[in-house]
């Protein structure tokens, strides 16, 4: 862990001092109401200014409020998790004023990542931000956080294996860059967690310490990789597709709660790649057809309708015009890479991926132990709606993942591996959304 991270029980009781800094303290009313008792009684008085936001969102309106409050201050001290952290680290970058964060929940991996997720004109954007000068993790505060936030943190941690799988797959098939260091930094802790989860409960201090360390290292890994690659692959693409298709639903669901559901789908798809001949046979076929520009083959076209030019119409029907246009740009970039790709050694590749993969059954056991919901319904979606988001997820970014093989699993998923969520053919999905 980096030097600027402090993790201990009761850390906030003494308050925090930053030499002669004029501190703007930023928090969320619900969070402050829940945590005030853990700080010294005169904590707010000692700050130069306090800004307690009511039900804030990470958007322009709240950025303006923080910027206005910053007048005559030269340091931001934040208490919060996802939203407050994003707002403060982005403002810090914009105004060139340092910030430190007191984590209010072990709910997400953004404390040590250099990006902020901000909604600008109604669109969620990933924007460059700064790293905090310090992260304070008071286990007493993490323990008092609403339980659903800790569950979300577990969800966002367990995509570790599927991200590793996907990023490596892309590297071997498309020749995209890959850095194993972010995974090596975390592997020991993740493996320990996967092996020992049954010993822990959600309010366990020892467990919260492990979880927050995992989340911090995950953010650090993204910063090292210069992008979200080690912590956001197929499972995050599905979640983003849900957010793009059903923005009002996505606002209600915690990010990590979505990732718990989508990580299971990713794990099943990856398992299919490993256990069927798909990766060597059909996978090869997909690559070859696109490489040869052989999209004139009628049978192939029927099986891979998304490769037909004009698939924009399909995307438009699903996401609407504006998002469909963005999707096509992203997907075209990926197709260019697929065309140039070289044939990997499939046997070697499978062997390596098998070592990385954490299967659906193991993940389910962990989620069940912590009572984390894993159905599409828990996200407010019917199975059909969820399946459609899975099917369209590969179009939304130029990232190459196991989802790029998803259409060859129509049969496999709907027969032996299916556990409530099945993949449908594009034809069925199209019909569904046409109605
Ligand atoms: Zn995430």
- Alpha carbon of residue 209 to chain centroid: 21
Using one digit for the tens of pLDDT, what is the confidence trace for 47-95?
999 999 999 999 999 999 999 999 999 999 999 999 999 999 999 999 9
Q: Is 424 in contact with 382 (CB distance < 8 Å)? A: no
If you measure from the C-alpha of residue 146 to the centroid of ligand 1, how many angstroms do you get, rounded to a whole number?
Answer: 19
280 plus 157 within the same structural domain: yes
Reported as a pLDDT band with limits 50, 70 and 90, residue 198 is very high
116 plus 175 within the same structural domain: no
Q: Looking at residue 59, what DSSP letter applies?
A: B
Supply the pLDDT for residue 136. Answer: 97
Residues 159, 164, 169, 175, CA torsion sign: positive
For residue 54, the enclosing domain spans 4-145
Using one digit for the tens of pLDDT, what is the confidence trace for 272-296?
788 765 555 545 555 565 555 433 3
> Last residue of some domain: 145, 177, 212?
145
Supply the pLDDT for residue 278. Answer: 52
170 plus 121 within the same structural domain: no
If you measure from the C-alpha of residue 82 to the centroid of ligand 1, how many angstroms do you get, rounded to a whole number?
Answer: 10
Choose among 135, 58, 67, 64: nearest CA to 96: 67
The tokens of 229 are what?
Answer: 């690659």
If you measure from the C-alpha of residue 259 to the centroid of ligand 1, how many angstroms do you get, rounded to a whole number?
Answer: 7
75 plus 96 within the same structural domain: yes
205 plus 111 within the same structural domain: no
The tokens of 180 are what?
Answer: 């194993």
128 plus 20 within the same structural domain: yes
> Could you tell me which residue, 431 or 231, shows the higher pLDDT?
231
Using one digit for the tens of pLDDT, what is the confidence trace for 298-327?
444 455 455 444 467 777 878 888 888 888
371 plus 327 within the same structural domain: yes
Would the pLDDT of 338 be above 80? Answer: no
Cα separation, 295 vs 307, whole angstroms: 7
Choose among 420, 422, 384: nearest CA to 406: 422
Choose among 374, 382, 377, 376: nearest CA to 433: 382
DSSP 220-282: HHHHHHTSSGGG-SHHHHHHHHHHHH-HHHHHHS-HHHHHHHHHHHHHHHHHHHHHSSTTTTH
If you measure from the C-alpha of residue 47 to the centroid of ligand 1, how many angstroms do you get, rounded to a whole number?
Answer: 32
> Could you tell me which residue, 302 or 342, shows the higher pLDDT?
342
pTM as predicted: 0.87
> Last residue of some domain: 100, 115, 145?
145
If you measure from the C-alpha of residue 237 to the centroid of ligand 1, how many angstroms do you get, rounded to a whole number?
Answer: 10
If you measure from the C-alpha of residue 236 to the centroid of ligand 1, how many angstroms do you get, rounded to a whole number?
Answer: 7
294 plus 411 within the same structural domain: yes
Would the pLDDT of 397 be above 90? Answer: no
If you measure from the C-alpha of residue 182 to the centroid of ligand 1, how many angstroms do you get, rounded to a whole number?
Answer: 15
The number of domains in the chain is 2
Cα separation, 219 vs 173, whole angstroms: 26
Q: Which CATH number covers residue 9?
A: 3.40.50.1970
110 plus 243 within the same structural domain: no
Would the pLDDT of 217 be above 60? Answer: yes
394 plus 274 within the same structural domain: yes
Q: Is 108 in contact with 132 (CB distance < 8 Å)? A: no
Q: Is 23 in contact with 48 (CB distance < 8 Å)? A: yes
Supply the pLDDT for residue 211. Answer: 98
Supply the pLDDT for residue 319. Answer: 83
Would the pLDDT of 124 be above 60? Answer: yes
Supply the pLDDT for residue 93. Answer: 97
If you measure from the C-alpha of residue 256 to the centroid of ligand 1, how many angstroms do you get, rounded to a whole number?
Answer: 6
């Amino acid at each position: 862990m980096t030097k600027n991270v402090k993790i201990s029980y009761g850390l906030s009781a003494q308050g925090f001092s930053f030499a002669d800094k004029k501190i703007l303290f930023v928090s969320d009313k619900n969070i402050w109401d829940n945590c005030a008792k853990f700080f010294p009684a005169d904590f707010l008085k000692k700050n130069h200014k306090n800004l307690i936001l009511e039900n804030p969102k990470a958007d322009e309106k709240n950025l303006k409020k923080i910027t206005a409050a910053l007048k005559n201050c030269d340091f931001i001290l934040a208490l919060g998790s996802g939203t407050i952290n994003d707002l403060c680290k982005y403002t810090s970058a914009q105004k060139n004023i340092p910030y430190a964060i007191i984590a209010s929940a072990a709910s997400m991996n953004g404390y040590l990542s250099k990006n902020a997720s901000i909604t600008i004109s109604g669109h969620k954007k990933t924007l460059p931000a700064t790293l905090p000068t310090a992260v304070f993790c008071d286990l007493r505060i993490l323990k008092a956080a609403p339980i659903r936030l800790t569950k979300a943190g577990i969800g966002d941690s367990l995509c570790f294996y599927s991200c590793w799988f996907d990023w490596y797959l892309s590297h071997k098939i498309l020749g995209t860059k890959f850095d194993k260091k972010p995974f090596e930094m975390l592997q020991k802790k993740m493996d320990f967690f996967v092996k020992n989860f049954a010993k822990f409960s959600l309010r366990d201090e020892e467990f919260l310490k492990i979880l927050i360390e995992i989340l911090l290292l995950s953010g650090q890994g993204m910063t090292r990789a210069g992008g979200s690659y080690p912590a956001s692959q197929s499972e995050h693409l599905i979640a983003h597709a849900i957010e793009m298709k059903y923005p009002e639903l996505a606002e209600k669901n915690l990010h990590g709660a979505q990732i718990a559901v989508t990580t299971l789908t990713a794990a099943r798809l990856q398992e299919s790649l490993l256990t069927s001949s798909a990766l060597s046979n059909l996978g090869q076929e997909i690559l070859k057809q696109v490489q040869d520009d052989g999209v004139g083959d009628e049978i192939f076209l029927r099986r891979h309708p998304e490769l037909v030019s004009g698939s924009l119409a399909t995307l438009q029907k699903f996401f609407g015009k504006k998002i469909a246009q963005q999707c096509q740009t992203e997907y075209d970039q990926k197709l260019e890479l697929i065309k140039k790709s070289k044939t990997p050694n499939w046997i070697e590749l499978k062997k390596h991926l098998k070592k990385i993969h954490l299967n659906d059954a193991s993940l389910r056991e962990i989620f069940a132990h912590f009572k984390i919901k894993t159905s599409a319904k828990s996200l407010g979606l019917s199975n059909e709606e969820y399946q459609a988001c899975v099917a369209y997820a590969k179009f939304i970014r130029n990232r190459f993942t196991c989802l790029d093989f998803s259409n060859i699993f129509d049969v496999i998923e709907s027969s032996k591996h299916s556990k409530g969520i099945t993949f449908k053919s594009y034809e069925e999905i199209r019909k569904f959304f046409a109605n």
